């Protein structure tokens, strides 16, 4: 890991040698790995002192990490994650708050905070993260990075700590779309049904209504470039029933699974959980069987709704987050309010299991602001190709 980590992006583990191929498609690039993934020679802490204490040194490297090493990339270190990956703020009560390299006075966003911090601070070329409720897309928006929540199950999470398995995905960050695409060539096989070169652009009016006029204005430039590339978008409604219904059903699915994953540890050891994390687990513990059943039924309906909306050639163009990153000085209550507003937008891809790519194409008040493309299941590489075209058009 780096001898000098001014961004506090990396967990300060004693360095261990991790071999990588001398040549390959990622040769010359270095990367960080969110401390949910096993790497031989290191523990896996999951942002929790109790999990770290139980970890021991791992003997096996997660297959996704190994694929990057086999492609010639050099591991720099393991990056800080929010506690048990159950936060979107990027402030771990035990391991600190990594710095946002693009806007140091603002939060990185979590739970892939260290990975986004390391890439935005220039400490590595790309980094692995995970996205359950928005933990790649939010930091990508906040830190001026490309970040993908892939189709659920498209990139392996074997030998990685779970949060909510039916929602968990493995994504990554990069500053430039070319580097991002090189990583995609290693981690993603060919799309089963590629999008056409000129997809049907869809404008989810209900999502855009969730952002304030200054945010829409800041995104106008890249939106117009997208229209020049692919034509005028068709107005659609993305939500099913209401955003409030989607929000609560998403939270019930995530909460029930998060408690099934981490509840036994919390019950047995009663670890001191940080602000926000403690409250979310307490809420998750009380999700009922009836709520979980209703949420899963809703998710199936919503997935069918969005699949029909997108078809085989449709792409939603939408803001990644409600706004730029909140200030580091923001109160816990205001951060929780921002998180809840964000989930209404982020749960579209989460509930459906469809890929969403955030692109760092705008700024507001000197801070990055992301624009997203969201496509049908299995269109991950096609979305990246569209992002390459959009970047070239700028």
Using DSSP, state whether 171 is helix, strand or coil.
strand
Report how far residue 378's alpha carbon sits from residue 368's, in angstroms, rounded to the nearest whole number.
28
The sign of the dihedral angle between the CA atoms of 186, 189, 191, 197 is positive
334 counts as catalytic = no
**Which of these is catalytic: 34, 358, 372, 382?**
34
The sign of the dihedral angle between the CA atoms of 8, 11, 16, 19 is negative
Beta-carbon contacts of 34 under 8 Å, excluding residues fewer than 6 positions away, are 78, 79, 81, 111, 112, 114, 115, 127, 128, 129, 130
Using DSSP, state whether 101 is helix, strand or coil.
coil
**Which of these is catalytic: 87, 111, 120, 358?**
111
379 counts as catalytic = no
**Residue 292: burial class (beta carbons within 10 Å; 0-12, 13-18, 19+):** middle
Helix, strand and coil percent figures for the chain, each rounded to 5: 40, 15, 45
Alpha carbon 261 to its chain's center: 19
333 counts as catalytic = no
**Which of these is catalytic: 87, 120, 135, 372?**
135
Q: Which residues are identified as catalytic? A: 34, 111, 135
């Amino acid at each position: 890991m780096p001898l000098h980590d001014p961004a506090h992006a990396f967990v300060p583990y004693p360095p261990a040698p991790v071999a990588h191929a001398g040549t390959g498609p990622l040769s010359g690039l270095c990367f960080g790995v969110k401390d949910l993934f096993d790497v031989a020679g290191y523990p896996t802490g999951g942002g929790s002192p109790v999990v770290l204490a139980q970890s021991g040194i791992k003997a096996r490297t997660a297959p996704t990490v190994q694929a990057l090493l086999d492609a010639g990339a050099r591991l720099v270190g393991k990056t800080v994650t929010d506690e048990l990956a159950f936060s979107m703020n990027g402030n771990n009560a035990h391991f600190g708050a990594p710095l946002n390299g693009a806007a140091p006075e603002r939060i990185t966003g979590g739970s892939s905070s260290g990975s986004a911090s390391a890439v935005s601070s220039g400490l590595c070329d790309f980094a692995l993260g995970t996205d359950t409720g928005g933990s790649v897309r939010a930091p990508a928006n906040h830190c001026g990075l490309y970040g993908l929540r892939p189709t659920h199950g498209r990139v392996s999470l074997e030998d990685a700590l779970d949060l909510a398995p039916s929602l968990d995905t493995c994504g990554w960050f990069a500053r430039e779309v070319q580097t991002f695409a090189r990583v995609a060539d290693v981690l993603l096989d060919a799309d089963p049904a590629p999008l056409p070169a000129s997809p049907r652009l869809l404008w989810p009016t209900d999502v855009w209504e969730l952002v304030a006029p200054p945010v829409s204005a800041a995104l106008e430039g890249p939106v117009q470039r997208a229209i020049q590339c692919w034509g005028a978008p068709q107005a659609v409604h993305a939500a099913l029933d209401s955003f409030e219904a989607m929000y609560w059903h998403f939270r019930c699915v995530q909460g029930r699974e998060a408690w099934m994953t981490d509840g036994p540890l919390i019950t047995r050891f009663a670890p001191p959980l940080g602000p926000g994390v403690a409250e979310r687990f307490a809420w998750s513990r009380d999700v009922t069987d009836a709520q979980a059943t209703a949420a899963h039924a809703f998710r199936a309906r919503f997935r069918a709704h969005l699949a029909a909306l997108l078809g085989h050639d449709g792409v939603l163009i939408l803001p990644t987050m409600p706004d730029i990153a909140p200030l580091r000085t923001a109160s816990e209550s205001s951060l929780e309010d921002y998180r809840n507003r964000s989930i209404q937008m982020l749960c579209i891809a989460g509930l459906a299991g469809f890929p969403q790519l955030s692109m760092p194409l705008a700024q507001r008040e000197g801070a990055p602001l992301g624009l997203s493309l969201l496509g049908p299941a299995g269109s991950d590489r096609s979305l990246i190709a569209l992002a390459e075209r959009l970047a070239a058009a700028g």
